[in-house]
Structure 1
Amino acid sequence: MAAPRDSDSPHELDFALAAKLLDAQPFTRLVGARLTEFGDGAATIEVDIRPELHQQNGFLHGGVLSYAADNALTFAGGAVLGAAVLTGGFSIQYVRPSTGRILIARAQVMHGGRRQAVVRCDLSTADEEGTEKLCALAQGTILSVTQG
């Protein structure tokens, strides 16, 4: 995420601004990710699964899952802490190979303070019928980088 302008309060982050901040990342545009939900300490990022994002065995590459987790965690944290946040660190556990039509990364703040938030992210894939399968879990710490 980017730091808010001087005229912005750190908590003035709505869906439109959050979506604009995500789209400002060149890698986001390369992967084709989009923000589909944002607010109340939560964020959801979706990526259409296409062959260019697969690894050698035909599954979605773990780097794409990590990218989606990192951004969903950070945006969920930003929903609580404001736009000026960075990922302090996160871990991810892959629970099954990722196949399907869409990757869905749903993050929720589990604990938020003034300067940091602990966030969990469930990563699922959805098939053509919309049936979801959990493929990874992530947890991270999101840090406020505002001065003061």
Structure 2
Amino acid sequence: MTIRITARIAIEEDELQEDFLRASGPGGQNVNKLETAVQLRFDAMASPNLPTTMKERLVALAGRRITKDGVLVITAQRHRTRERNREDALERLVALLREAATPPPPPRRATKPTRAAKARRVDEKTRRGATKRLRSTRPDD
């Protein structure tokens, strides 16, 4: 089965590896008995479906969630059921990949203020100064 990331990019489900482990936190007796937490692994660097630029952005976005080998690891244990944790991990993976797929905004070009903008700024400063001068409590000379 294919997982759609964008209109052009999709990953195959067999590229994902799921491991189940015991979740920490609340859950009563289930915490000690059942393996409800999901650890989803996706080898991003070996994936043939991701463009190189997207892989670079993914490494920057993932931070500590990506290993030195380029394997993205997402652990989900928010929910009490294994199925819901699987869905949560997959949703988080898709969200991260979509964020990596969007290109960065173009760099900002520095511009100088116009002459009119400079004049407006000076006029406003003069008006503010006059207002503050009128507020002073010193007697007139």
Q: TM-score range by the shorter chain?
A: under 0.3
Using CA pairs below 8 Å that are at least 6 residues apart, which structure has the higher relative contact order?
A: 1
Pick the structure with greater CA Rg.
2
| Higher-strand-fraction structure | 1
What is the TM-score when the length of structure 2 is the normalising length? 0.28
| Higher-helix-fraction structure | 2
What is the TM-score when the length of structure 1 is the normalising length? 0.27
